[in-house]
Structures are given as structure tokens and as C-alpha cells.
Amino acid sequence: MKKSFIVSMLLLSGLAYGKEKKSFSLVEAQEHAVKNSYQMLLADLGIEEARQEVKETTAMGLPQVKATASFQNFLDVPTQVIPNFLAPAITQTLVGTGVWPPSAADQPADPEFIEAQFGTEYNTNVGISANQLIFDGRYFYGLKASRAYVNYVQLQKNNDEAGVKDQVAQAYYTSLVADESVTVFESSIDNVRKTLAETKAMYEEGFMEELDVDQLSLMESNLSNQLENAKMQQENARAMLKFMLAMPLDSEIELTDELEVLLSEEKAEAMILQNLSISKHRDMLLLDEGINLQQINLKVTQSGYLPTLSAFFQHQQMNMTNEIDFQTWFPNTVWGVNLNVPIFTSFSTRSKAQKVKVGIDKLEVQRAQLGSSLELQALSAKSSLITALNSYKNEKKNLELARKIQDKTLEKFNLGMASSLELSQAESQLITTQGNYVQSIFNVLTAQTELYNALGL
């Protein structure tokens, strides 16, 4: 009953979450994704896994204490055959005391071997032992490597976080573009329908031709199809954004930012002037930490030449009887140290060290390659942003002209000085220009994001 209640509450909460409408600015969406996205959850688990590895490595150098206990019941006590050393001793004693004559000493022992049982039927053993590592170079450098690995995983998380923010920004921009497209087509359809209604009325009064009505009806039909396609793209864009935010696809979200508000020409132009710092770039920091890890790994490998020293302590209590009786116990206590000095390993340690050195050399080459690649990416991203900015400024001017042309053409159409074909062309031109303008904003924001990542900010 309790389990069913919990399941019902979870289902109700899930439905409530799905129906609740949430509003996000771009920054809020990015922050939500950083906290809830699947990629960041995996990154957090990776850091926790690395931290547990540090604890595991640390524990290897701490005292290791364990208790043992055993009970044995020998159904057949082991028998050993030993030389018959008792008969000669007894014979010599009897001859020496005069009980037997001297000639008896020359007689062979009979039998030659005797059977003897050593041990008891029941053996019980309980004990405690402790071991402590005193010196092992591989342990100390291994501990340092595990701690460095935590830093490496943290840097990876920083890169993942930047990637998640980038993906959310792209999905957010795409969703806004889709919203704007729907708005453009809805506004155009409203204008065309209004003009169509007026044209029909004028046609019925004999002031317009049927061709004008048909032309406007065709325009309305085409715009309706384009609107449906735009709504489908809007739905797909929203679904992608919800996925990036790790939200149910049936939930409702509202975007509070607008494309034109997000675009800042001053900010974009300031980014173009910003210089690249290769040593502080996220990718370079990650690679440098990887090189540091390999250098520590080299020291771990080279520690194979060093001796290892450990201490141990062991105490046991043993009970040995032919009947089950735990009255009498015999103690056994020992402590000592173990020293292991490697003398010759057939050059295996040397080969392992050389292999790690080659890996470090490869990383150094990759570092040089990455530096050049980052410079090229920054240069390319700046060029893309400059081009996108110029295109945006041109499309902004074009939109003003297209609106002016559409207004003039509509005015002339109402006065009978322009045909419906001219009006259709002006309306199509305005829709195309509006789409180009929205796309130019999207291109600037995308280029700005790419430059932000290229600079490692």
C-alpha cells in the first residue's frame, strides 16, 4: 500500500512538472543545463569517482589489520613413517645396564621403520595481524598521481560545462529564430487576409479584377503552408532545447530573451579586439594537466628501481585437542620487517619508463599543434564574426527598405496604381528580407559564441 502511494505521488509530480510552464532567459537556461544536464551529471560522477580513487590509494599506505579464525577436524590424523631410532637406544641401555648380554647390541633393529602420528584430532586457530607500509616510491607517487587526476577531471568538467553552455545557446538561438519565423508568417498572413477581404469587397463592387482576388488567395495559401512548416520547425527547436535542459519533452517552456536584445554590436566588436591567451585556454590547461599526469606516471614507473620496506605484526592463539575442548590455548606472537630490493628485472622497468617518456614527447608535440590550432581558430572565428556583423548591418538596412517598398506598393494597390502581382512580389520580398535579417542576427550570435570558445573564455 505504501509503495503504491509513493508511485502514485511520483507520477502526479511528474505530470505536474510536465504541465508547469517555466520561463528561461539565456543565462537561466545555461545555468539550468549546467545543474541538470546528463553530461554534467556524468561529469560530477566522474569527479566523485576520482576522489574515491584518491581515498583508495591513500588507504593502501595506512595500517592494514585483519582477524583470522580456523577450525579443523582431522577424521584421520596424518601418519608419518620414520626410521626406528628407538630400538637401538633401548638395546644400548639394556646392554649397558647388564640386563641384556653384549651380543644383543649386534642384532639389527626390528622393525626398521615405525609409524607415528603427529597432531591432534581438533585444531582451532584464532589470530590478528597488522601490516604497515614504511617506504614504497610507487605508493607516494601513485598518491600524487591520483590527486592530480582529480584536477584533470575537474578541468574536463570545466570544458564540458563550456560545451553545455554553447549547445544550450545554439538551441536557444535556434528556438528564437523559429519563433520569429512563425511571427513573421502570422503577421504576413494577417496583412494578406486583410487586403484580400478588402479586394473581394472592391471586386464585388466592380473596382477590382478577379485576377487580383485569385492572386491574393494564392498568396494566402502559400503563406499558410509556410506557416505550418515554421510551426513544425518551432516545435522541433523547442524539443531540442528541452533535451539540452534535461526537461521532459511534454513540458512547456517560455523564452524571455529576444534575438535583437541578445545581440550587442559593442560586445561583439570588443570581442574581436580581444587577444588570445594560449597558456590560459581551457584546452591548453587540460593538455598541460595531462602532461603533468604522465610526468608523475614516469616517476611511479622509475620507482620500480627503489626498495620497498614494510612491517608486520601477528598474534595467534592455538587450541589442539583430541576432544572438543577450548580450555587450553597456546600463544604464538611474531613481528618483523620485510625488505624487497630489486636487483635485476630484465630491463622491464627501463622499457616501461621509456614508453612513458615517448608518451610525454607525443603530448608535447600535441601541445605545440594545439597552440597553432588555437591561434588559427581564433583568427577564423574573428573573421566569421566580422563577416556576420557586416551582413547583419546590411540586412538591417535591407529590412527597412523592404518594409518601405511593401507599404508603398500596398498604398498604390489600394489606389489601383499597382497590380496584385506587384503586391505579391513586394510581400514575398519583405518576408524573405525579414528571414534574412533574423538569420543574420542568428549568425552574429553563433559567430560570437564560436569566438568566445576559440578564445577559451
How many Cβ atoms from other residues are within 10 Å of residue 212's Cβ? 23
- Pair type for strands 64-73 and 21-24: unpaired
Outline where 26-85 has alpha helix (H): 26-36, 38-60
How many Cβ atoms from other residues are within 10 Å of residue 219's Cβ? 23
State how far the alpha carbon of 209 is from the alpha carbons of 191, 255, 421, 436, in Å: 20, 45, 12, 33
Judgement on whether residues 281 and 142 belong to the same structural domain of the protein: yes
Is 14 among the domain residues?
no
Judgement on whether residues 406 and 288 belong to the same structural domain of the protein: yes
Phi-psi region at 122: left, alpha or beta (left = phi > 0; alpha = psi -120 to 50): beta
Do 118 and 81 touch, CB atoms closer than 8 A? no
Is 223 among the domain residues?
yes
Range of 433's domain?
136-306+347-454
340, three cell numbers: 624487497
Choosing from 118, 144, 173, the residue where a domain stops is 118
Residue 108: per-residue pLDDT:
63
Judgement on whether residues 211 and 149 belong to the same structural domain of the protein: yes
Is 259 among the domain residues?
yes
Task: Tell me how many degrees the CA angle 193-196-202 measures, rounded to the nearest 5.
Answer: 150
Q: What are phi and psi of 141, to 5 degrees?
A: -75, -30
Residue 105: per-residue pLDDT:
59
**Cβ contacts of 455 within 8 Å, gap of 6 or more:** 271, 274, 276, 277, 281, 378, 381
Judgement on whether residues 114 and 242 belong to the same structural domain of the protein: no
Is 445 among the domain residues?
yes
| Nearest partner of 364 among 454, 277, 287, 293, judged by Cα | 287
Cis-peptide, bond into residue 111, ω within 30° of zero: yes
State how far the alpha carbon of 239 is from the alpha carbons of 60, 64, 171, 360, 404, in Å: 49, 54, 9, 44, 36
Residue 19, CB-side half-sphere exposure with 13 Å CA sphere: 6
Is 53 among the domain residues?
no
Where in 74-156 does DSSP place strands (E)? 79-83, 113-117, 122-135
Choosing from 68, 91, 118, the residue where a domain stops is 118
What is the radius of gyration, based on Cα positions, of the chain? 44
Judgement on whether residues 109 and 189 belong to the same structural domain of the protein: no
pLDDT, tens digit, 9 for 90 and up, residues 423-438: 888 888 888 888 898 8
Choosing from 118, 148, 182, the residue where a domain stops is 118
Judgement on whether residues 252 and 111 belong to the same structural domain of the protein: no
Judgement on whether residues 212 and 268 belong to the same structural domain of the protein: yes
| Nearest partner of 62 among 72, 70, 54, judged by Cα | 54
In the chain, the amino acid numbered 403 is R
Q: How many domains does the chain have?
A: 2
Q: What are phi and psi of 281, to 5 degrees?
A: -70, 145
Do 175 and 234 touch, CB atoms closer than 8 A? yes
User: Residue 150 is part of a domain; what is its CATH number?
Assistant: 1.20.1600.10
Is 30 among the domain residues?
no
Could you say which residues of the chain have pLDDT below 50? 1-18
| Nearest partner of 124 among 159, 60, 73, 197, judged by Cα | 73
210, three cell numbers: 478577379
Q: What is the pTM of this model?
A: 0.74
Judgement on whether residues 91 and 185 belong to the same structural domain of the protein: no
Q: SS3 of 24, please?
A: strand
Quote the CA–CA distance of 52 and 150 in Å, as a whole number.
10
Is 70 among the domain residues?
no
Quote the CA–CA distance of 457 and 447 in Å, as a whole number.
14
Judgement on whether residues 371 and 409 belong to the same structural domain of the protein: yes
Judgement on whether residues 110 and 202 belong to the same structural domain of the protein: no
pLDDT, tens digit, 9 for 90 and up, residues 124-159: 999 999 999 888 888 888 888 888 999 999 999 988
Judgement on whether residues 401 and 435 belong to the same structural domain of the protein: yes
Judgement on whether residues 108 and 224 belong to the same structural domain of the protein: no
Quote the CA–CA distance of 425 and 407 in Å, as a whole number.
12
Phi-psi region at 206: left, alpha or beta (left = phi > 0; alpha = psi -120 to 50): left
Is 421 among the domain residues?
yes
Quote the CA–CA distance of 280 and 121 in Å, as a whole number.
74
